[in-house]
Amino acid sequence: MKKLPGLAAGIKDKLIQQALERKLRQASTPAGQTPARPAEKKPEIPEEHYRFHLHPGYQQLRIINDGAKRLGVKNPFFKLHEGTAGADTHISGREFVNYASYNYLNMSGDPVVAAAAKAAIDQYGTSVSASRLVSGERPIHRELEKEIAALYGVDDAITFVSGHATNVSTIGYLFGPRDLVLHDELIHNSVLQGIQLSGARRLPFPHNDWEALDSILNEQRHQFERVLIVLEGIYSMDGDFPALPRFIEIKQRHRAFLMVDEAHSLGVMGARGYGIREHFGVDGKDVDIWMGTLSKTLAGCGGYIAGETALVEHLKFLAPSFLYSVGMPPSVAASALAALRRMKELPERVAALQARGKFFLEQAKAAGIDTGTSTGLAVVPAIMGSSLKATRISAALFKQGINVQPILYPAVPEKSARLRFFISCMHTEEQIRRTIEILAGALR
């Protein structure tokens, strides 16, 4: 072997070894191909990156559930209702007074509504089997949308198969990175998801505080192209509502869009149940985007957007959750349409709901129960102050034949953990009085 002058013996040996390895690789490589480099050792992929049981969200859930089990607290969720859930329900063979249903006007289970759903199945089948744009359009869809538009006094409406997706898709599609969305700090998750999808700037304002909103717009409006303000008709966690005329004036002055989510206010507010618009006596065209769900008062499933022709036509052709989703089942559209017409025919149900809600709130306050800012319109919270206490009080009421669900952190702040009572027009004063007595006793 030829000597390499000027190099230490160890370095010489290393260079000789590398040269021999290169020659061996070249000899074993077919002509015209480049010898492969030695494979580098790749880092190990942590098991939590490919195992669902190690996902951080699931780990957190297990910690909560295991902690509750050690404290002797049963999981209060996913109870099996064995029939129609209204003011009363059956669970595990027992009858309960039920405050865990959005069936405000008792339309789910109404014979006329049920008959309309059955007739639609007989005529159209159980599915339209395609997106409405392609071949899933049925007359019942248009009838429902025209009736919703007429209710609001606007040009047209569009229905989606999911209430949550209605907000996500509408906001996510119509707004973008150069836009601003301002929302009440207690707005529903579906609105937050829609804003995130849109890429728009998001700014919350204090609950029902129109003056704070006005101040933000004075500073921010001219930095953005389109600006959307989003409110709820009735806030589902607190049972209160915004001063809509104030927000309309602000949106007009700042040249912004206003969207009102009426998921819990349709059928609940106004003398005829026409919602927050009727409650305040405002023109339906003063709000740019009316949104609502079909799953509460209207006894179905899905959501709607009502407004001007340009808005609705735009969404029908381009909103992802409408364009790429199968059309609403005919039975669902028919039941929602029948429920809407029944609401118009039976204003006494709306009056009874409002009276029962007011009675519940009065009784709760008289018993010293913290009901927060509730106005007694169908939704009344009983604030417990901790998730553990809310769960335990819910269990205590369940043992005595009252079904009411706890609302726990992170759905609300820990100090605001609560029981949430949904009132029906079918609840009796005696049921409500007994409920408050048992609740007050459990708290003592």
Confidence of residue 176 (pLDDT cuts 50, 70, 90): very high
Within-domain flag for 55: no
Angle at 198 between CA 410 and CA 210, to 5 degrees: 65
Q: Find the length of the chain.
A: 444
Phi, psi of 122 (to 5 degrees): -60, -35
Q: Quick check: 39 pLDDT over 80?
A: no
With bands split at pLDDT 50, 70 and 90, how would you rate the model's confidence at 112? Answer: very high
| pLDDT tens for each residue of 310-337 | 999 999 999 999 999 999 999 999 999 9
- pLDDT per residue over 383-396, tens digit each? 999 999 999 999 99
* Residue 253: pLDDT over 90: yes
Task: Please identify, among 296, 328, 360, the residue that sits at the C-terminal boundary of a domain.
Answer: 328
Name the pTM for this structure.
Answer: 0.89
Name every residue whose Cβ is closer than 8 Å to that of residue 39 and which is 6 or more positions away in sequence.
none
Share of the chain above pLDDT 90, in %: 84
Query: In the predicted model, what is the mean pLDDT of residues 278-294?
Result: 98
Which amino acid is present at 222? H
> Does residue 12 form part of some domain?
no
> Is 32 contained in some domain?
no
**1 pLDDT band (50/70/90 cuts)?**
very low
Q: Sort residue 275 into left (φ over 0), alpha (ψ -120 to 50) or beta.
A: left
Answer yes or no: do 302 and 156 share one domain: yes
Give the pLDDT score at 2: 47
By percentage, how much of the chain surpasses pLDDT 70?
92
Residues contacting residue 297 through CB under 8 Å, at least 6 positions apart: 102, 104, 105, 107, 266, 267, 268, 273, 339, 343
More confident position, 1 or 357:
357
Q: Dump pLDDT digits (tens) for 203-234.
A: 999 999 999 999 999 999 999 999 999 999 99
CA dist., res. 44 & res. 48, Å (int): 12
| 52 in any annotated domain | no
* Token pair belonging to 101: 């249903």
Beta bridge partners of 309: none
Whichever domain contains 277, its CATH number is 3.40.640.10
Determine the average pLDDT of the residues in 349-364.
Answer: 98
What CATH number is given to the structural domain containing 406? 3.90.1150.10
Residues 6+ apart with CB under 8 A from 246: 210
Q: Examine residue 340 and state whether it is found in any structural domain, yes or no.
A: no
Mean pLDDT of the chain: 93
pLDDT band at 133 (very low <50, low <70, confident <90, very high): very high
Give the chain's domain count.
Answer: 2
Q: Which domain holds residue 282?
A: 128-328
- The burial class, CB within 10 Å (0-12 / 13-18 / 19+), for 322 is buried
The token duo for 260 is: 């009102």
Lowest-confidence region among 11-25, 195-209, 387-401: 11-25
